Amino acid sequence: MSKDFIAPIQVVHLFVVDSTFHIENEPSQNMDLKVDVSYQDVHLLRNKAGERADLKLYVCGSLIDRDDAKEKMRADVSVAISVSTKLPFDISDDEARRYLLSNAISMAYGHAKSYLMVVTGLSPMGALTLPAILPSELAADSDASFQSE
């Protein structure tokens, strides 16, 4: 096994800041999963000490009845995360931004996904299992740029 499988990024903090859960009285047997993921409050900092990214990730999973298109269950969560690292200064700001955001999104999504599985696990619908995402695609959509101190 390689010694280099640990990413050079540290989680400064990671916690749930808000969540909701609702289930209708009459669940359906034929439902489709709808997933929404977005993030906000992005702050990127780059200085001699290293790089840091802070953001809030919102994740919503809902089950939609195929027959009448009504939402039968909805669970959402907002997760705040802050990550830091010391990247080589010879990489571009854009590469550093995508690296930090991709990792922060990935870690926050994993936390949100686990949280929603636990919250929904005791419902009549059972645990909501969200699909994997491509954090680099979400990070590519950001127009956030680094601030320097």
* Residue 115 buriedness (CB in 10 A; 0-12 / 13-18 / 19+): middle
The reply to whether 75 falls in a domain is: yes
pLDDT tens for each residue of the chain, 149 residues long: 567 788 889 999 999 999 999 999 877 789 999 999 999 999 999 988 899 999 999 999 999 999 999 999 999 999 999 999 998 778 888 998 999 999 999 999 999 999 999 999 988 888 999 999 999 999 998 888 989 87
Pairing of the two strands 71-85 and 50-65: antiparallel
* Residue 41 placed within a domain: yes
Expressed as residue numbers, the domain containing 35 is 9-139
Residue 144 lies in a domain: no
Q: How confident is the model at residue 27, as a pLDDT?
A: 73
pLDDT for 1 equals 55
CATH code for the domain of 88: 3.10.420.10
Nearest to 127 by CA among 114, 139, 143, 146: 114
Q: Which residue in 82, 15, 80, 79 sits closest to 51, CA to CA?
A: 82
What is the total count of domains within the chain? 1
